[in-house]
Structure formats: structure tokens, C-alpha cells
Structure 1
């Protein structure tokens, strides 16, 4: 193993002291707080998921202060899991940190070894090849089954690209998008009856190809869709508020009447 090359960090001691403070507080809570004493690795899992989504929201909002707070919450959870595992003699925080350090060194041979990688694509390809050597039976084996479908599609495509299974040019990908859209439209747009199972599969192909194209033009489709969600919520809530001011109920309005408010919301 190559020696880790460190860069000067004038705040390193303060960071180590803060981390030690967190571990100390976690120990004290685990030993003295009725709620913390009761928790198990399984019982806080859903809370960790919630905190991760809260961090995601803060990132999308570009709110660095909230990002800092949410990172603190997640750091607490990491300390909590490590403390509970140490009680079972499984591992502790040192094992966790040393484990990720070793993995990073092994998977960056262009930094800690003699492998040459001058661009991002080569780094990704090396990463996937190393994972296979570590025992992964499939390049796609590391994609969590419980990932949301849109993010899972992104990760599947990225990992396939890492071993060369990908298109060469974005124009080829767009042709695939048009092909899938054309097939879906021809089959279902004018059909009086639809085989829902087959249509669902075909629609999935359309979405998968669009996600693939987004990746080729460096757009994060998850972020893009979430921005549209937020935009729709803002405009719809404006519609609700303005309709209420006018003494109207949405359920009693025509689409044409609602569109007037909707179009006004676009100027916000």
C-alpha cells in the first residue's frame, strides 16, 4: 500500500476535536438517555433515510447553512450506528473509517499506485474493474435494489458505461429516444384498448432512454424532475391562493379559468 499524501490543514486539530466531541456525546447519550438507550440499528434506519432526503432538499435549495445542519444529523447517525455495533463486538468508528480509507486507496491506483488515469472516464472504468476483482459477480451488483427507479436507472447506465457498454455519441442516444417514443405512440396513442402490462413496459423503455440521453448531455434527470416538481407546486399553490382570494373553488372552476391564474404564475 502506498503512503497517503496529505496536504497542510491548519484546522485539522479543531476538526479532530469536534469529531472526538461528537463521539463523547454519543457515548453519553447511549449510556444515559432513555430514548437513545432503547434504539437499535434497525430502529433508526427510517430516520437515517429521512435525514438523507432532508440533506437532498437542502442541496437542491442551494442552502449551505441547511446543508451544514443536515450533514451534522447524518454524522450523528453514523456515530450512532458505530456505537451500537461496537456494543455487539462487530466494529467501531475506527473500523468504519479505516475501512473506507483502505477502499479509497485500493480503488485509486492512479493516485496511490502506478496506474495512469488522466480523465474521469478512465477513473470510472478502473473503479468498476477493481470492484469485479474484489469479488463482485456483476458490474451492476452494487446498485441497491431499493433505490428509487429514476436514480437506479442512472446508476445502471453509469456502471454499464464504466465497462464500455454504451453509445459513442449523443445523437445515437437521441435516435433511440425517438425510436422508443415512436413505438409507444404508434402502439398506444390511438388505441381504444390498451394492454396495461405491455404499455407499462414500453413506457419504461421511453423513460430509460430519456434518462440515458440526459446523462449524455450532463443533465441529472433526478434533479431536473425535482426542479419541475417544485415549480409545479409553486404555480399550483399560487393558483389556489388567487382563486381563494376571488372567492372561487378550484373544483367549481373550468380549466380555462384556472389557466388564467396558471399563466400569471409563470411570471413569478
Structure 2
């Protein structure tokens, strides 16, 4: 099969590639087996890889990962087209019209002066859209928060919605006290060896910790991402030091010895980055 770049440029090219991958006779066996449900985990993974590339700041990697994420949209579009539900152009047209509709202050003469007005107008437009689509109205303040959202982000979303009606802690210290309370309950459940209760209490502790991050105006996902990277960077240095001291590396060292190496790595980092 010949591939002509001039015949299929840009977006048309990736759409053509996807069509060939799904071809019932000559397509890829793996791609032909996929469904909407089966590729969801890959979509989520690709989104995280985009975020990771952006955090690293390498433009070549960002471009590469954005391409992988775009391919996920193209895959869904192909599946939709095969089921005569929608295609890529319809997806693009739909989101363009929605963005124009939701930004009257950009695409019309509507005047919005504050962020509060912007948010209120955004919610009013979304509410009108739901009514026009005939969707059953959920009167809860927690309505329309996607259940499939990443748990950490959904927890923050739930907390912010409740805060709008005053159901929120007044200051950071109250949240910190709640975290201490939840820690005690986790320890108690752990001592009782009640796995179900322990899972529930750990969940409460995580929820309270996210609440503190929100009150401190910290993005918990970004903070955890940085913590993961810091831990990985330091542990890799511990591995190098352990290998230099012991032929068998980590396995030949006690926890106390490893902790000394960990502290050594932390001191070195502080000296290198005062």
C-alpha cells in the first residue's frame, strides 16, 4: 500500500491512517478488536503522559504526546463513524459551536467585567443547554460532576461546590484538626484489623488532606506529581550509593543504613540547591 503525503495532509492523513487500522480485512488485528470501553484506559494514560511531558518542558516530547492523545480522539471518531453516530468533523464542529456559545463576551457584544460574572454566565449557559437537550434536571448543588472524573479532582470539585453554599471550614487550622482526627481513626481501624473500616477511614483521611490543599490554594495533583518525582530522584541516588558501598546493593543493607543514605542524599541536594 502506497502512502501519499500530498493526498492525505495533516488531519486528513491521521483520519486515513485510522481508517486503515480499522479496515475489516487488511487492518491491524488489535485495533479492529477495540471498542469505546476498551480504549478508555489508554486515553487516560495518554493524558497523563501529556501532563508529564509538559512538566518536563521538552517541546519535542510535548508534540509527540499530544499526537498520541489526538490519536485517541481520532480512534473514538472512527468508532462513532462506524456506528453512524458521529465523525471527526462533527466532533470538531460541535465543540467549536459550544465554545462560541459559551463565550458571548468574546464572540458577541456581551460585557463581562469580573470572574464572578464570567462563572455565573458560564453556568447559566450550561443550564440552558441542558434544558434545551431535555436532560432531567438535578437540583442538587453537586449535580453534573462527572462520576468518571479522576477521584482526586472529583473530591476537590465536590468540596468547591459545597463551599459555594457555605458548607466549608472557616480556616486552615480547622481542616488540619480534622486531619489529625482522621489519622487517629485510621490507626484505630488498623489496630482492630477491620479492612472495610480501614479503607473507609483512609478515604476520609485523603479527602480531608485534599481539603487542606484546597484551603491553601495548592493543586494537590501537581503537588503529588512533584513529590513523586522528588522521591524517585532521591531513591535512585540511594540505590547508587548503596551499590557503591555494597556489591549486593540495597538487599545487603538494613533499614537504618538505607535511612542514613537517604538523609545523605537530602543534605547533598540542599547543598547543591541552597
TM-score (normalizing by structure 1): 0.75
Q: Which range moves more in the overlay, 25-34 or 172-181?
A: 25-34
What 5-or-longer segments of structure 2 have no aligned partner? 1-7, 270-274
Q: Which range moves more in the overlay, 176-185 or 223-232?
A: 176-185
What is the match of residue 27 of structure 2? 33
**Residues 73, 93 of structure 1: CA spacing in aligned structure 2 closer, same or farther, 3 A cutoff?**
same
Q: Which residue of 16, 20, 26 maps to 1:24?
A: 16
1:259 paired to 2:274: no
Question: How many residues are aligned here?
Answer: 249
**Residues 191, 68 of structure 1: CA spacing in aligned structure 2 closer, same or farther, 3 A cutoff?**
closer
CA RMSD of superposed structures (Å): 3.3
What is the match of residue 62 of structure 1? 57
What is the match of residue 181 of structure 1? 179
TM-score (normalizing by structure 2): 0.74
Cα offset, 1:193, TM superposition = 4.1
Contact 2:190–2:198 at 8 Å: present in 1 too?
A: no
Q: Which residue of 145, 151, 155 maps to 2:147?
A: 145
Deviations 1:6-59 (A, max 9, x none): xxxxxxxxxx95223322333344334333444433343332232222222212
What 5-or-longer segments of structure 1 have no aligned partner? 1-15
Cα offset, 1:249, TM superposition = 4.7
Cα offset, 1:221, TM superposition = 0.5
Q: Which range moves more in the overlay, 32-41 or 84-93?
A: 32-41
Cα offset, 1:100, TM superposition = 1.1
Cα offset, 1:262, TM superposition = 0.7
Cα offset, 1:222, TM superposition = 0.6
Contact 2:186–2:201 at 8 Å: present in 1 too?
A: no
Deviations 1:52-111 (A, max 9, x none): 222222123232221111111111221222122112211111221122122222322333
**Residues 23, 250 of structure 1: CA spacing in aligned structure 2 closer, same or farther, 3 A cutoff?**
closer
Q: Which residue of 89, 95, 108 maps to 1:94?
A: 89
Contact 2:156–2:210 at 8 Å: present in 1 too?
A: yes
**Residues 207, 93 of structure 1: CA spacing in aligned structure 2 closer, same or farther, 3 A cutoff?**
same
Distance 2:212 2:144 in 1: 23
**Residues 167, 117 of structure 1: CA spacing in aligned structure 2 closer, same or farther, 3 A cutoff?**
farther
Map 1:1-268; keep pairs closer than 5 Å: 18-31=10-23, 32-35=26-29, 36-113=31-108, 115-133=110-128, 134=130, 135=135, 137=138, 138-160=140-162, 164-166=164-166, 172-184=170-182, 193-194=191-192, 201-247=200-246, 249-266=249-266, 267-268=268-269
**Residues 186, 209 of structure 1: CA spacing in aligned structure 2 closer, same or farther, 3 A cutoff?**
closer
- Greater RCO, CA 8 A, separation 6+: 1
Distance 2:111 2:214 in 1: 25
Contact 1:128–1:139 at 8 Å: present in 2 too?
A: no
Cα offset, 1:127, TM superposition = 2.6
